[in-house]
Every structure is written in C-alpha cells, then in structure tokens.
C-alpha cells in the first residue's frame, strides 16, 4: 500500500465535554486513505467510528470538539479551517452519506433540487446545466426515470431510492473522498448488495476513495481494500482485508469474526463477545478491551498497549504482539 495518500488522519482526538466529565469518543485515531481505495472502519455501536467521520467532516456539534491531531486532505491541512473555508471543502472535495436515508433528505424540497444545490454551491454553472448534471448522476446511480424523479419529494421515494439520491448528492461534485456511514444498515439485504456494488463502481470510475463505516464484517470482506477495527475510540487492529481475515490477531477482531453465524458449522448458540462497550467516562486504566478480553493478563489491566507492527501492513494494539515484527 504505497499509493498516494488522499486523506491522512493523524492521531485524531475528539472529546465530548459533558456535565459528567470528558468523554474521549475519538482517542488518537490514525487512518490513511489511498487514492481510489475503499477503507473499512469496523466496530460495535459507540466505538467512535461515526464520531471519527463527523470530526473529519467538521460536523461535530456541541458538546463535541476536535481537540488534537491533524486531518490532511490531498496535502492540505483541513483541521483548523474557518467555517467559510471548510464549507468549500465539504460536499466538494469530501462528502458524506448517512445511515438514515429515510430522514436525511429535506421533506419540503424536491430531491433533484437538493442535489442541484450541492452543484450550485461549489461550481459556477447555470441552473439548467446543474439540472442536467443531476439527471445524469441520477441515471448513474440507477434511479429509473431520472427526469421525472428530479421533481419528486423524498416521501415519494423508497428507502433504497433515497439512498441512491444521497449517493448521487455525495458524488455529483466528484469528491476525492466519500465517507459512507453505515449506508446500507437501514436497507433491505437485497438492496444492500446493489448499493455496495454501486458505490464500488462509482469509486472506480471517478477515482474517489471511500471510507466505509460499518459493523458488518461481511460487507467489509466484500468491498474493502483495507480495514481498521475500532474499539472505545481507538484503532485496535488494522490490515489489508485478506491479511485481516487470514491472520486475525487482536482478540476483539477474532470476537467480531466469530460472531458471524456460519452455515458450515453446527452451533447451538450464536457466538458473542461477552459484556458491553465500556462507558467512555470510566475507561479501564489499562487496555480498553481488557474487561471483555478472554486472553487478558495482569499487565492488560494496568498498562495501555500501543499499536504493534505484526506484518508489512498489519498493526495490532495488544501486548501479545509487542516486539514481534
């Protein structure tokens, strides 16, 4: 993975300042996104994957705030941009689609107009030209009768079609990076495959990189080139997809993979990882996973492990692999 890096997130820290204390939702996350690749970010609910995405987009709202680290987009530091400068980057060079296609579109405007707005914001084209571009992208994302759908309101479209509209909106300015936050979680499984294939196709055609946030290991195996496994605001393991599945190292990643029900095994009960994600306000003193880890040693409860290199493109945050590579 020595391709040019489009988006370089280094040691990103985003904290939430609540009345009960400071919650480190994103705690020193580094993610590198090479051009034209699909990066998977996996983890349970509340592990900080969405917050990482929101931090990159500059969409964190009070009481959340980016407190450290750098975000470099195509060689330019976008961590400390003013609201005005950031708005030129958002939706243009980096865009995002969300988990909830049913509510992510404004109910009182036709969908075509909402996509057209993204073009008019970032490019100097006439309204008629922008409309043509919208119809074009609608066709590209597989919306039937795009000229007619342009004038439809969100409530007239199905969830799958709305997510296609969202993808169209995110892709219409040909961004360098698109962040997809669980884009298929709210959709039918049959639609899920279509949407994933569509995103992969658009990504290849336009050279856009995708950060795909998901909790679904199957989705990761299907489309991602490289995977980051997150837990309690930290990256626990990162590797190329095949490497991760072949040489799963971190106990947490193994737990996630074991949790996928298999057809070729006769199991009475589904595998689970015991316990729940720890409260961010009361993280364990040592490794954040130690309370649920079946392989935890004494040391894991008092010291925090670093990310240790175990292969060329493979890092693991676990003492078992300290000094291995």
Partner 1 sequence: MWSRVGKRIAISIPVLVGVVLAIFVMLRIVPGDPVTTMLGEHVNPAVIEKISREMGLDQPVTVQFFQYVFHALQGDFGTSYRLNRNVTGIILDAFPNTVKLSLLAAVVAWVIGIVAGIVAAVRQNRLLDRLFMGCALMGVSMPVFMTALVLQYVFAFKLKWFPVSGFDSVKAMILPAIALGWNSAGSIARMTRSNLVEVMQNDYIRTARAKGLREHGVIVGHALKNAMLPVVTMMVLQISSMLSGAVLTESVFGVPGIGRLAVNAIETRDMPLLQGTVVFTTILIIAGNLAADLLYNVLDPRIREGA
The minimum distance between CB 279 and partner 1, in angstroms, equals: 24
Q: Degrees (nearest 5) of the Cα angle 275, 44, 49?
A: 140
User: Which CB sits closer to partner 1, 87 or 258?
Assistant: 87
Tokens of 32: 């590198």
Say how many C-beta atoms besides its own lie within 10 A of residue 14's C-beta: 24
What is the length of the chain?
Answer: 325
The minimum distance between CB 139 and partner 1, in angstroms, equals: 21
Nearest to 200 by CA among 221, 216, 186, 185: 221
For residues 235 and 228, the answer to whether their CB atoms sit within 8 Å is yes
Check whether the bond before 74 is cis (ω within 30° of 0).
no
User: Which CB sits closer to partner 1, 67 or 121?
Assistant: 121
The minimum distance between CB 259 and partner 1, in angstroms, equals: 28
The minimum distance between CB 1 and partner 1, in angstroms, equals: 28
Residue 301 sits at φ, ψ, to 5 deg, of -85, -15
The minimum distance between CB 151 and partner 1, in angstroms, equals: 10
Query: Mask of contacts with partner 1, 250-279, x by CB under 8 A?
Result: ------------------------------
| Residues 102-131 close enough to bind partner 1 by CB under 8 A | 103-109, 114, 117-118, 121-122
Distance CA 220, CA 213 (A): 9
Across the beta sheet with 5-18, the strand order is: 21-34, 5-18, 64-73, 76-77
Identify the bridge partners of residue 12 per DSSP, sorted by sequence position.
Answer: 29
Selected binder of partner 1 within 156, 204, 246, 285 (CB under 8 A)? 156
Question: How many residues sit close enough to partner 1 to count as binding (CB under 8 A)?
Answer: 31
User: Which CB sits closer to partner 1, 121 or 193?
Assistant: 121
Say how many C-beta atoms besides its own lie within 10 A of residue 46's C-beta: 17
| Residues 46-105 close enough to bind partner 1 by CB under 8 A | 57, 59, 83-84, 87-92, 95-96, 98, 100, 103-105
User: Which CB sits closer to partner 1, 85 or 285?
Assistant: 85
| Residues 168-187 close enough to bind partner 1 by CB under 8 A | 169
User: Which CB sits closer to partner 1, 44 or 100?
Assistant: 100
Residue 30 binds to partner 1 (criterion: CB under 8 A) = no
Nearest to 234 by CA among 52, 109, 89, 68: 52
Tokens of 138: 């609608």
What SS3 state is found at 224? coil
User: Which CB sits closer to partner 1, 172 or 217?
Assistant: 172
Residue 150 binds to partner 1 (criterion: CB under 8 A) = no
Residue 262 sits at φ, ψ, to 5 deg, of -115, 145
Distance CA 50, CA 286 (A): 24
Distance CA 306, CA 250 (A): 12
User: Which CB sits closer to partner 1, 93 or 225?
Assistant: 93
User: Which CB sits closer to partner 1, 14 or 238?
Assistant: 14
Residues that bind partner 1 (CB under 8 A): 57, 59, 83-84, 87-92, 95-96, 98, 100, 103-109, 114, 117-118, 121-122, 153, 155-156, 166, 169
């Amino acid at each position: 993975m020595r391709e040019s890096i489009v988006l370089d997130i280094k040691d990103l820290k985003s904290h939430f300042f609540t009345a009960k204390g400071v919650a480190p939702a994103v705690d020193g996350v580094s993610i590198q996104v090479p051009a034209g690749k699909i990066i998977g970010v996996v983890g349970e609910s509340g592990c900080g994957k969405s917050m990482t995405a929101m931090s990159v987009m500059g969409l964190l709202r009070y009481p959340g705030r980016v407190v450290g680290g750098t975000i470099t987009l195509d060689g330019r530091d976008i961590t400390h941009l003013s609201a005005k400068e950031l708005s030129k980057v958002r939706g243009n060079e980096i865009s995002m689609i969300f988990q909830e296609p049913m509510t992510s579109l404004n109910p009182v405007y036709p969908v075509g107009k909402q996509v057209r707005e993204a073009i008019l914001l970032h490019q100097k084209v006439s309204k008629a030209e922008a409309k043509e571009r919208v119809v074009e992208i609608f066709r590209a994302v597989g919306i039937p009768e795009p000229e007619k759908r342009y004038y439809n309101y969100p409530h007239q479209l199905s969830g799958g079609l709305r997510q296609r509209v969202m993808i169209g909106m995110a892709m219409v300015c040909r961004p360098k990076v698109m962040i997809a936050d669980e884009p298929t979680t709210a959709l039918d499984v049959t639609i899920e495959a279509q949407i994933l294939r569509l995103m992969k196709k658009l990504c290849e055609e336009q050279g856009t990189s995708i950060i795909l946030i998901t909790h679904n290991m199957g989705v990761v195996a299907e489309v991602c080139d490289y995977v980051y496994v997150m837990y309690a605001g930290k990256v626990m393991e990162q590797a190329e997809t095949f490497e991760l599945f072949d040489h799963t190292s971190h106990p947490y990643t193994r737990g996630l993979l074991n949790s996928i029900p298999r057809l070729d095994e006769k199991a009475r009960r589904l595998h689970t990882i015991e316990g729940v994600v720890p409260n961010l306000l009361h993280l364990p003193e040592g490794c954040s996973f130690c309370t649920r880890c079946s392989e935890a040693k004494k040391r894991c409860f008092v010291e925090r492990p670093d990310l240790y290199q175990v292969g060329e493109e493979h890092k693991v945050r676990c003492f078992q692999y300290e000094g291995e590579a």
